[in-house]
Amino acid sequence: MADIYDFVIIGSGPSGGVLAYNLCKAGARVLMLEAGKEFTPNTFPSNEMSANASLMWSGGMDTTTDAGLLFLRGKVLGGGSIINQCLLDRFDDNALDDWRARTGVDFFSTDAMARHYDEVESHLSLHTMERCDWNRNAELYVEGFEKCGMEWAPLRRGQSDCGSGNDCIVCLGGCPRESKQSSLVTFIKKARQHGLTVETQFNVSQIIHGTNLVTVYGQQNGTARQVHGRRCIVAGGALGSTQMLLKSGFKSKLPALGNNFNCHPQFMNIALFDEIVDSHKGAFQSVKSQDARFRQQGFKLENVFAGPIAVSLLKPGFGIDHQRFMQKYRNMACIEVAVRDATAGTIDIDKTGRLKIKKTMADADWQRANAGLQVVETLFNTLGAREVMKSPIKIGLHLMGGCTLGKDGQHSVVNERFQVHDHPNLFIADSSIFPSAPGINPALSIMALAHKASEHILAECGVSSSTQVQKESPVVEVQL
């Protein structure tokens, strides 16, 4: 005998949180499954090393098969929103027009998406970074941009009250002040008030789609578990959702599954200055490039920094040279180049179900990256840097695609109602549905699309988002 939920949502990041809230608010009985643990402000890891180990898949060391790209992704209740910077931008015409052209789907336009952005933003505390938020790294960035005649703009973050402390280095390891607007402190919290059930440390291995029922299999703390929903929504992120569908054998029916993987390869470039910069004090990120030429060339620049462990990994070599470099931690400034990648990769699994990710940077991508790296070098030289280290490592933080949205079952995985082609009870509405790389921070758009998806999903059940789900009975018990 087992409970059947109205919806089982797998994953708890920006997508899972919004879906859970909207479905619970409409009166549905919802179960959220998450492979990671739940942390509270008091239990978030207190240092960089344990944050990587306890909040990320593979301890933050997922790579492509040739180890050319390193991927970071959250494995924790709240998903990527627990470990990200929560920079929240809407997509522009350039990104959405590209998606509409690729998919033929009309709602990819700034006008059609505006209502969904408005709705999710109304639940978030948003702060446009002000001059008083800048640390010296941001000041140098702006100084360089102005000297070189390039346009910059303030970043917008999801944060409520970061206080006056200058220890924001912990943002990337969970926010102990509950200021950063992760899905845990926003949508999941509200969904719980509407009855959401959450099960953590539940690693989903298989999804079986049936006419009236979807069964989800997995392991929870070493114990085999199965749960049931009338409908299931997969929100495990680009790698997670694609891996779950591949492990469940959907590839034979969905030939495009695993294709079209993008990741905005990022290069963190460090300059050493004679002065103390203290990039680790105050907000890590507060300004970005706003130069139309850069958008056209396919890259953007943001001021950024990282903890000492991450920075030490960027420096090639070891021994005395490496030690001398790290001793200059307080003299480092950093600018990141993020590339709008043009060459999609693929996500596959091996016989044991482990991820096999293939993605290389082709000439077009290197052209974009090199254009950005050249601008960074010019900026640092203009500012009088003693030494500039261009990042030898490419990092993928924005992972997208694998279950692309589109109209055609040969070239896409979900339709414009966010339903997996020919699987009416299975939906996906996370970063895995992205048709291409937008070149813009993705999290807000993931939430806006999840909001749109929740309306379609409720409509499939005959419910408009303003009315309540008519439950057949509060809990349906079935013999399985």
Ligand X SMILES: Cc1cc2nc3c(=O)[nH]c(=O)nc-3n(C[C@H](O)[C@H](O)[C@H](O)COP(=O)(O)OP(=O)(O)OC[C@H]3O[C@@H](n4cnc5c(N)ncnc54)[C@H](O)[C@@H]3O)c2cc1C
Q: Which residue, 400 or 463, has its beta carbon nearer to ligand X?
A: 400
Q: Which residue, 277 or 443, has its beta carbon nearer to ligand X?
A: 443
CB of residue 56 to ligand X, shortest distance in Å: 8
Number of Cβ atoms within 10 Å of the Cβ of 191? 27
Burial of 317 (0-12, 13-18, 19+ CB in 10 A): exposed
Q: Which residue, 385 or 447, has its beta carbon nearer to ligand X?
A: 447
Q: Up-side HSE of residue 164: CA atoms within 13 Å toward CB?
A: 0
Q: Up-side HSE of residue 471: CA atoms within 13 Å toward CB?
A: 15
Residue 204 annotated in ligand binding = yes
Burial of 372 (0-12, 13-18, 19+ CB in 10 A): buried
Name the one residue in this structure whose structure tokens are 């790209």: 69
Tokens, residue 76:
């924790």
CB of residue 157 to ligand X, shortest distance in Å: 8
CB of residue 106 to ligand X, shortest distance in Å: 23
Position 36: which residue type? Answer: G
Q: Which residue, 12 or 137, has its beta carbon nearer to ligand X?
A: 12
Q: Which residue, 15 or 259, has its beta carbon nearer to ligand X?
A: 15
Q: Which residue, 430 or 455, has its beta carbon nearer to ligand X?
A: 430
CA neighbor of 332 nearest in space, from 288, 374, 290, 391: 391
CB of residue 172 to ligand X, shortest distance in Å: 6
DSSP collapsed to 3 states, the chain: CEEEEEEEEECCCHHHHHHHHHHHHCCCCEEEECCCECCCCCCCCCCHHHHHHHHEHHHHCEECCCCCEEECCECECCCHHHHCCCECCCCCHHHHHHHHHHHCCCCCCHHHHHHHHHHHHCCCCEEECCHHHCCHHHHHHHHHHHHCCCCEEECEEEECCCCCCCCHHHHHHCCCCCCECCCHHHHHHHHHHCCCEEECCEEEEEEEECCCCEEEEEEECCEEEEEEEEEEEECCHHHHHHHHHHHCCHHHCCCCCCCCEECCCEEEEEEECCCCCCCCCCCCCCEEECCHHHHHHCEEEEECCCCHHHHHHHCCCCCHHHHHHHHCHHHEEEEEEEECCCCCEEEEECCCCCEEEECCCCHHHHHHHHHHHHHHHHHHHHCCCCEEECCCCEEECCCECCCCECCCCCCCCECCCCEECCCCCEEECCHHHCCCCCCCCCHHHHHHHHHHHHHHHHHHCCCCCCCCCCCCCCCEEECC
Q: Which residue, 84 or 260, has its beta carbon nearer to ligand X?
A: 84
Q: Which residue, 136 or 247, has its beta carbon nearer to ligand X?
A: 247
CB of residue 452 to ligand X, shortest distance in Å: 14
CB of residue 199 to ligand X, shortest distance in Å: 9
Q: Which residue, 331 or 431, has its beta carbon nearer to ligand X?
A: 431
CB of residue 334 to ligand X, shortest distance in Å: 14
CB of residue 239 to ligand X, shortest distance in Å: 7
- Enumerate binding residues for ligand X (CB under 6 A): 10-16, 33-36, 72-76, 79-81, 83-87, 172, 202-204, 235-237, 240, 244, 397-398, 430-431, 441-443, 446
CB 264 within 8 A of CB 396: yes
CB of residue 88 to ligand X, shortest distance in Å: 6
Q: Which residue, 213 or 349, has its beta carbon nearer to ligand X?
A: 349
Residue 388 annotated in ligand binding = no
CB of residue 321 to ligand X, shortest distance in Å: 27
Q: Which residue, 86 or 457, has its beta carbon nearer to ligand X?
A: 86
CA 133, CA 294: separation in Å to the nearest integer?
25
CB of residue 255 to ligand X, shortest distance in Å: 22
Residue list, annotated binding site for FAD: 76, 204
Residue list, annotated binding site: 76, 204
